[in-house]
Amino acid sequence: MFQKIRSSFQSELVKNGITLLSASTISQLIALIVYPIITRQYSPEDLGVLAVFLPIVGIGTILASGKYEMAIMVEKRKENAAAAFDISFFLTLFLVKITSVLVLIFKPWLIETFKLESISLFMNFIPLLIFLSSLGFILTYWFNRNKRFALTARYNIVQSSVNSGLKVGLGSLGFTQWGLIAASIIGQLVGVLSVFFKKEDFEKLFKFEKLRMIKVAKKQANFPKYTLPHAFVNTLASSVPIMILAVYIDIAEVGLFALGITIGFKPISILTGSMNQVLFQKSTQNKAEGISSFPLLLNFCRKTLLIATPVFIIAYLFLPPTVEWLFGHAWLKAGEYIQLMLPWFLAALMASSLSYMPAVAGKQFTAMIIEIVYATCKISVLFIGVLQNDIRLAILLFSIVNALFVSGLLVWFLYLAKHDKT
């Protein structure tokens, strides 16, 4: 079976995939090792606070670069790709300045609405974390565009290791909620610094050539015009459920739901993120060479479904007792929540790896409209459960809508790959 899977991909794709997937595996292994420790040091309430704080940062990170980092991959000339990097970096600095002002204005409202009194001091660090997260994200596109996948792998491993290590260390010293925030900030900082070693990797960056930047910005205007609203709606729709639960439901339940998302979805997001970058690079190369990527992507989906389906079935049967054994009795319900979300996770395993296809096919506007409808539907069904004061119902409906829409998106991505004119 493994020989058949290997033969389905070109050798370069396999090599690049192994580099990133190895880093993802190591990162996930670190998380699996430390989470049983973290859940015995921190309460569901503690993780609930972290789960509300990080989406605020996530929304800012998505907006920061205007999605021009994606232009780094599609520009044929390296100088133009470097200009796209500079545009992304400049916009990030601009948004960080705006965010600093907004935090000062809305800090009291955020603290009161989302019950963040215990980490009020760290609200001032939101702009810094947005800057570090956005810069790390932009750098990975630059590295992957230049096939420097080892640097992307290093960034992921270092960031994850420092973040997880500090959570354990600070937790053992009795620092709870603010220790989780500090670990997130320092982890991002060290991760970014870890890739700034060789001058040749950055020799074309930070030039800020005004005329070239303007030319590239106009040429790639579809990314901020369509891809950015699309990504913003996607991130908002992912963040709003946590925020809704934080407002209407006990913060401990938010922590349980957050652990369920983390343990169930983060391994998938890391895996698909790596494959997304590799397949994105290969698809843009194929497009430039006049080769269809449809056979490659269809085969990827078939093999993934073949391998993942039995794994997910086994996981469903043993999740609650396994979660209780790994993380402690206080977290048993997190395993039950993961069970409800498994159909969504299975669909996302394939669709997220191909989510770049609208950009390759020039269908960003259509993707944005679909994302708006998708976000509206999944937030609406979540409110049904909240109004019934039934978090299980809310999560079940949320998962069903996600599974249906993500499956539909997967079919559309494959359709784009098959009919995209090279």
pLDDT tens sequence across 135-168: 998 998 888 888 788 888 888 889 989 998 999 9
Distance CA 143, CA 58 (A): 22
Would the pLDDT of 64 be above 50?
yes
pLDDT for 186 equals 93
For 230-240, the pLDDT digits (tens) are 788 878 877 87
Rounded distance, CA 261 to CA 264, Å? Answer: 5
Mean pLDDT computed over 247-257: 83
9 band by pLDDT with thresholds 50, 70 and 90: very low
More confident residue, 269 or 407: 407
In this predicted model, what pLDDT tens digit does every residue of 408-421 receive, in sequence order?
999 999 998 888 75
Which of 5-14, 88-97, 167-176, 312-321 is predicted least confidently?
Answer: 5-14
User: What is the band of 23 on the pLDDT scale with cuts at 50, 70, 90?
Assistant: low
Using CB atoms within 10 A of its CB, is residue 47 exposed (0-12), middle (13-18) or buried (19+)? buried
Query: In this prediction, what percent of the chain has a pLDDT beyond 90?
Result: 23
**Per-residue pLDDT, 12:** 57
Q: Tell me the H-state helices in 125-227.
A: 126-145, 149-172, 177-193, 210-219, 222
Number of domains in the chain: 1
pLDDT at 116 over 80: no
Q: State the residue range of the domain holding 336.
A: 2-419
CA distance 3 to 51: 41
Q: What is the mean pLDDT of residues 327-337?
A: 89
For residue 115, is pLDDT > 90?
Answer: no
Q: Is the pLDDT of residue 120 over 90?
A: no
pLDDT attached to residue 1:
43
Which range has the top average pLDDT, 184-193, 244-253, 275-284?
184-193
Structure token pair of residue 315: 């996981």
pLDDT in tens, 167-223: 999 888 877 777 888 899 999 999 999 888 777 767 778 888 889 899 999 988 888
Average pLDDT over residues 98-114: 86
pTM of the model: 0.74
Question: In whole numbers, what is the pLDDT of the chain averaged over residues?
Answer: 84
Token digits of residue 264: 């169930």
> What confidence category does residue 8 fall into, taking pLDDT thresholds of 50, 70 and 90?
very low
Among 243, 265, 414, which residue's Cα sits nearest to residue 334?
A: 265
Q: CB within 8 A of 230, min separation 6: which ones?
A: 358, 364, 367, 368, 371
Residue 3 has pLDDT above 70, yes or no: no
Burial class for 353, CB neighbours closer than 10 Å (0-12, 13-18, 19+): buried
Q: Is 267's pLDDT higher than 80?
A: no
pLDDT at 14 over 70: no
User: Torsions phi, psi of 75, nearest 5?
Assistant: -70, 130
Mean pLDDT for the stretch of residues 89-114: 89
- CA distances, 262 to each of 31, 60, 134, 269, 329 (Å): 10, 20, 20, 10, 18
Give the pLDDT confidence score for residue 2 in this predicted structure.
42
Q: Mean per-residue pLDDT for 109-119?
A: 76
- Looking at residue 21, its pLDDT comes to 60
Contact criterion met (CB below 8 Å) for 285 and 50: no
Average pLDDT over residues 261-267: 80
Report the alpha-carbon angle 346-416-136, nearest 5: 65
